[in-house]
Chains A and B, each alone.
Chain A
């Protein structure tokens, strides 16, 4: 008997330790990024492009990467939305009566989700060569757009499948077309969920390196057109950290901090939205 109790206690202790370690690990990552990045975060850092080359120049900031990242992520989210929204609407309205097909699509989406971003990068690179476009913002947007599409669709699908079928049926019985049901009933019902899915996809897109490594190139300038090369924040971290010059490395740490802050803001927004969504429903 005493052994059982002891075993229970030991396991309990181990479990408390492992849950606590999650919090500790998160704090460890965040603290090391903040401690290393904060000293170099200045107005100069966020308002100037690197001077004298991103790899060797000691002066300047990472404005090119910040703006490039935002262009790239907004572009990719927008592109992906054109595909994702109709698809998730179709899965939950047009194909609602055929769960087998819908489940098969979900399965394919989960598989797509699991494909590593470096494979998307290699795929994007082959398309790029096939279509004859050079490494550019456009090629990056296409690759990242493909890569975040399954995340977006599954996010939207998750909220849309909870919309009661009676709501759709009553709208159709009142004479709406399926498209009207989709945009005037479904989208309106699930807008916080849709925004959450978009934010999650945005977070994924802005933080990924492997998919843009092949496709966007890198430049010290802020891109002015979609066919130019562009820098992004994760690439700025990755490339500048490899430089032997300390000032350049500091730019990498500052970029890492900026990227982390963006991700934290997105996380908080997602939490806020999903809390709101659920409190509305119950």
Chain B
């Protein structure tokens, strides 16, 4: 009899936990939809107020007059992301190739913590570093070198800080991708007399081209949403920047800077939620395309 009740309680516990688990699974699968829906719901007001093309392509930003053109913010985001990726790309590619094909195991053992710590440093710390080092460097040396005058707080500074933050993220994915390239392909090429670099150039890079592009796609979506570090060095001046040494105002910075004031004006509140929605859509679309490509490549091997 004791055995029987024991069995019953065990069974009951198991069922309760199963129920909890099922609920969790549903919640997680629904969470992106819930987030997207609630942001969409909040931006309904602004979408009814101005047309989508006006929101995206107008550069008139006067919240008090009810004019919301996101173009200056979008273009700033695009520039900062572009610079970040351009600077990070060669470093990541070369390092990933070196660590996978040239370096010893010892080197990888030494570098892994370095990469992990770079990845773990919070963005606000990168922001402080940017203010201390990158902003003065851009203002004093880099901008005059190109013949511009700049306070240093600029799109360029944002891009440079961003590129450092992207390195560990993209590098880890690239290393994973290079590992999936078959070793016999590599060996076959070497045995035909190609040098190591020729093999990498003609075999590895060609084989993993889609993977490399996806790694940068993931990097792009990470870069597009990065808020605080960029906000701290980018200057935050509304307007379409004429050159890269002028201040910019990316979308995440817009949301972060205005959260206090927006509550009093419903339309402003709605506009900021629309910015968040826009950000999310861009990030998620790039994420989905890149991840699908990577999954497809991995399933082929």
Chain B interface bracket (under 10, 10 to 19, 20 to 34, 35 or more): 35 or more
Q: Is the CB of A33 within 8 A of B129?
A: yes
Stretch in contact with the other chain, from A51-59, A175-183, A222-230 = A175-183
Pick the most buried of B98, B102, B111, B196: most chain A CB atoms within 10 A of its CB: B98
- Enumerate A159-216 residues with CB–CB distance to B below 8 Å: 177-180, 182, 200, 203, 206-210, 213-214
Per the bound structure, the CA–CA distance linking A118 and B126 in Å amounts to: 17
Question: Which of B11, B21, B111, B221 has the most chain A CB atoms inside 10 A of its CB?
Answer: B21
Once the chains are docked, how many angstroms separate the CA of A213 from the CA of B255? 10
Q: How far is the CA of A239 from the CA of B27 in the complex (A)?
A: 35
B198 in contact with A118 (CB, 8 Å): no
Identity of the chain A residue whose Cβ is nearest the Cβ of B222 in the assembled complex: A114
Chain B residues near A120 (CB-CB < 8 A):
35
Stretch at the interface among B46-54, B142-150, B226-234: B226-234
**Residues of chain B from 230 to 279 with CB closer than 8 A to chain A in the complex:** 232, 252, 255-256, 259, 272-273, 276, 279
B128 within 8 A of A: yes
Verify if A44 is at the interface (C-beta below 8 Å from B).
no
Q: Which of B14, B125, B195, B291 contacts A260 (CB 8 A)?
A: B125
Interface pair A119/B125, CB less than 8 Å apart? no
Contacts of A266 in B (CB 8 A): 120
B-chain residues with CB within 8 Å of residue A83 when the two chains form the complex? 24, 27-28
Segment 14-28 of A: residues with Cβ below 8 Å from B: 14-19, 21-23, 25-26, 28
Query: Are A123's CB and B25's CB within 8 A?
Result: no
Interface check B78, CB cutoff 8 A: no
Size bracket of the A interface: 35 or more
Please determine whether B196 and A115 come into contact, CB atoms closer than 8 angstroms. Answer: no
A109 at the interface (CB under 8 A from B): yes
Most chain A CB within 10 A, of B94, B113, B116, is at: B94
Alpha-carbon distance A1/B111, docked complex (angstroms): 33
Interface of B is mostly: helix
Say if the beta carbon of B91 comes within 8 Å of chain A. yes
Determine how close the nearest CB of chain A comes to the CB of B299; give it in whole angstroms. 10
Contact of A117 among B11, B132, B227 (CB under 8 A): B227
Nearest CB of chain B from residue A8's CB, rounded to whole Å: 5
Known contacts A126-B42, A126-B273; is-contact A29 B126 (Cβ 8 Å)? yes
Which listed residue, A4, A29, A177, A214, touches B125 by the CB 8 Å rule?
Answer: A29
Smallest Cβ distance from A26 to chain B, in angstroms? Answer: 5
Of the residues A116, A178, A200, contact of B14 by C-beta under 8 Å: A178
The answer for the CA separation of A119 and B218 in the assembled complex, in Å, is 17
User: Which B residues touch A107, using CB under 8 A?
Assistant: 291, 295
Assembled-state Cα–Cα distance A105/B27 (Å): 11
B200 to chain A, nearest CB (A): 8
Interface residues of A (CB under 8 A from B): 4-5, 7-8, 11-12, 14-19, 21-23, 25-26, 28-29, 32-33, 36, 83, 86-87, 89-90, 94-95, 104-105, 107-112, 114-123, 125-127, 130, 146, 149, 153, 177-180, 182, 200, 203, 206-210, 213-214, 234, 237-238, 241, 252-253, 256, 259-260, 263-264, 266-267, 270-271
Question: Given contacts A122-B276, A259-B122, could you give 9 more A-B pairs where the C-beta distance is less than 8 Å?
Answer: A18-B94, A32-B133, A83-B24, A115-B280, A207-B123, A237-B125, A238-B127, A256-B125, A270-B116
Sample of 23 A–B contacts (CB below 8 Å): A14-B94, A19-B107, A19-B111, A26-B117, A83-B27, A86-B21, A104-B29, A108-B32, A111-B32, A112-B28, A114-B283, A115-B32, A115-B283, A118-B252, A119-B39, A179-B17, A206-B122, A207-B124, A210-B252, A213-B259, A241-B128, A260-B125, A271-B116
